Amino acid sequence: MVHNALMDKDGVFRVATWNIHKGVRGVGPARRLEIHDIGHGVEQLDADVVCLQEVRKVHRRGQDHFARWPAQPQAEYLAPLGYEAVYRTNAYTRDGEHGNALLTRWPVVTTSTRTCRTTVSSNAACCMWRSGWPIGRCM
């Protein structure tokens, strides 16, 4: 494997995935804003690539309900210093939208989105990206 300064000193390429449930825990009046704790968790993962599901870009009701709702879209808010954030929408709702995000230490060259039908009434989207990472072979 080709070693790069962006990789850990042991040359390991780390990928993490996390369904952040739109940055909120619970339902109804018991809902709690978790996005700030998730941000700390993403930093602690120290992964080269973090794949996030159920990420909000805009959510008017969340902004109105929670005083500490981030001003930035969640993908950008969660990206640690030195990471690039890529976000693609899966679903639009009356209060906003949500989708998938990718946080990466590597520069993103291109992105695309594909919709995959999961059931007759439901779709899922897959955010694909290409980076300029110099990896020789993966084991």
56-107 residue pLDDT tens = 988 888 888 899 999 999 999 999 999 999 998 888 888 888 899 999 998 8
In whole angstroms, give the CA distance from residue 104 to residue 27.
31
Type of residue numbered 61: R
Asked whether residue 111 is assigned to any structural domain, the reply reads yes
Tell me if 54 sits within 8 A of 98, measured CB to CB. Answer: yes
CA distance 74 to 85: 10
Averaged over 94-121, what is the pLDDT?
A: 78
- Asked if residue 136 belongs to a domain, the reply is no
pLDDT surpasses 50 at 41: yes
Q: What is the pLDDT of residue 78?
A: 97
State mean pLDDT over 110-128.
Answer: 61
CATH code, domain carrying 58: 3.60.10.10
pLDDT band, residue 8 (cuts 50/70/90)? low
Q: How many domains does the chain have?
A: 1
Q: Does a structural domain hold residue 138?
A: no
Confidence at 5, pLDDT banded by 50, 70, 90: low
What's the domain range around 39?
15-131
Q: Is residue 108 part of a domain?
A: yes
Q: Which is it for the CA torsion 10, 15, 21, 22, positive or negative?
A: positive
Q: How confident is the model at residue 84, as a pLDDT?
A: 93
- 5 within some domain: no
Report pLDDT for 2: 45
pLDDT of residue 3: 44
Q: What band does 116 get if pLDDT is binned at 50, 70 and 90?
A: low
